[in-house]
Amino acid sequence: MDLPTVAGWRCPVCGAHVDIASPLQWRCPRAGDGRHHTLELVTAAAPLRPTGDADPFVAFRHHLAWDAYAAALGLTDDARQAIVRDLDTKVASVAGTGFRTTPFVRADALSTALGFDELGGVWVKDETGNVGGSHKARHLFTILLHLVTTELAGRAPWSSPAARPPLAIASCGNAALAAGTLAAAVGWPIRVFVPVAANAAVVARLHELHADVVTCPRLDTDPPGDPCVLRFREAVAAGAVPFGVQGPENAWCLDGGRTIGWELAVAMDDIDASPFDRLFVQVGGGAFAACVAAGLAEGGRPVRLHAVQTEHCAPLERAWQRSFGVGGPAGAAAHWDECMWPWEHVGASAADGILDDETYDWIPIVRAMAATGGAPVVVSEAQVLEANDLLRASTSIDASATGTAGLAGLLAVRDQLDPGERVVVIASGVRR
């Protein structure tokens, strides 16, 4: 039987370490009130050995940081598996589906339309059938597993489920819906901080899930940055549990997201031993790209990473370029202020889910791009719209413009690729 492969956490900015057995520890202990610290997993080299279960949180459980944490608290393997299955059943009762391996196939019509030959093509990982209609719940589920396990082990500071502190998230889209769904599944109170122009259908669904929805106009006294994130951080400072997809706020979101990369690695092995050439991943806050790249590397199938942002908001590309003036991407973590800060004038885009004014998880992305020979891609609004139309016309996937923004990155550089290249894109969220 595989042993847990995660030893703990480390801050790449200051070098602080956190033991894997530490309950409710999700930020660098030296961060204080600042956000320019984060935590990354410290993993031991081990072959990726899924059990074959359809539930990725069962199939890959011995590679998850959550499983190592629960084992350190004394829970048996059977008990740990039972926690996952129990929570998955509860989630399915609210979402209509539990966590399942998502499809990864060559999109033949799309490949032909883009001029790839029979040796190459575009393979699409479809996350639209996931819990909540996107990849976001993958990240949040390991936070929930950590919280529930802490309760079951008697290590939580609250006296009973009735005394639980509220969860908190800043989002108006797929992350909010995923968070609201998971919270409703276990009856955990949650506050969702949304912008003034939040999607009405999303807000209505959040109310159905009994979330406390807080609208966040920008105040004259607010510093630069997203006012929803500012209000979210105020709630966390007052005792709420950060339940979002931003590693510096809660590093446990970086655990479950790796399951998507692991699934890709296994699926690639099932296809053949030949390498895939490029991976285009849409980037807002950055946890998605960071986790997919990490999962592929841990699965022994690293792919040249292209992080895709829109011209209306591209702080990651700026950080990438700035990193070469401070010694390169490998050491950029020590120069956060010089590389990453909020985008000054965020424009409107159909891919509104990647308009985060700051790429919070930028450090692992720039390192992964450097390690794989990749680079960021900034796309036009025309390419965002073309990609969405193209994927929906050539496949059965009904993804949002945000969900197809990775394909927009492929369109932007298509003339630089050989027709025999094998390319991966991810449809990350359903159209609403």
Average pLDDT over residues 31-39: 86
pLDDT at 2: 44
| SS3 letters across 180-209 | HHHHHHHCCCEEEEECCCCCHHHHHHHHHC
339 forms beta bridges with: none
Average pLDDT over residues 65-73: 96
CB crowding 155-164: b at 16 or more within 10 Å, else e: ebeeeeeeeb
**DSSP E strands, 176-287:** 190-194, 212-215, 241-242, 278-282
Cα separation, 183 vs 191, in Å, equals: 10
Is residue 234 classed as helix, strand or coil in its secondary structure? Answer: helix
Q: How confident is the model at residue 216 (pLDDT cuts 50, 70, 90)?
A: very high
CA 187 to chain centre: 23
**DSSP E strands, 11-120:** 17-19, 40-43, 104-106
**CB atoms inside a 10 Å sphere around CB 416:** 7
In the chain, what are the domains?
A: 6-96+136-254 (3.40.50.1100), 104-133+257-427 (3.40.50.1100)
Task: Indicate whether 139 pLDDT > 70.
Answer: yes
Contact 68, 20 (CB under 8 A): yes
**CB atoms inside a 10 Å sphere around CB 2:** 16
pLDDT at 224: 81
Q: How many CA atoms lie within 13 A of 171 on its CB side?
A: 26
**Tokens representing residue 42 in the block:** 């410290």
- Only one residue has tokens 């390192």, namely 367
Does residue 223 or residue 131 have the better pLDDT? 131
Average pLDDT over residues 300-323: 97
**Mean of all residue pLDDT scores within the chain:** 95
Q: Dihedral, CA atoms, 361, 366, 371, 372, nearest 10 degrees?
A: 90
- Percent of the chain whose pLDDT exceeds 90: 91
pLDDT at 3: 44
Q: How confident is the model at residue 232 (pLDDT cuts 50, 70, 90)?
A: very high
pLDDT at 228: 92
Task: Indicate whether 131 pLDDT > 70.
Answer: yes
Average pLDDT over residues 137-148: 98
Amino acid at 83: I
pLDDT at 312: 96
Q: How confident is the model at residue 19 (pLDDT cuts 50, 70, 90)?
A: very high
Average pLDDT over residues 404-413: 98
- Only one residue has tokens 């004038």, namely 345
Is residue 343 classed as helix, strand or coil in its secondary structure? Answer: coil
How deeply is 239 buried, as exposed, middle or buried, from its count of CB atoms within 10 A (0-12, 13-18, 19+)?
exposed
- Torsion angles phi and psi, residue 404, rounded to 5: -110, 10
Is residue 326 classed as helix, strand or coil in its secondary structure? Answer: coil
Contact 12, 38 (CB under 8 A): yes
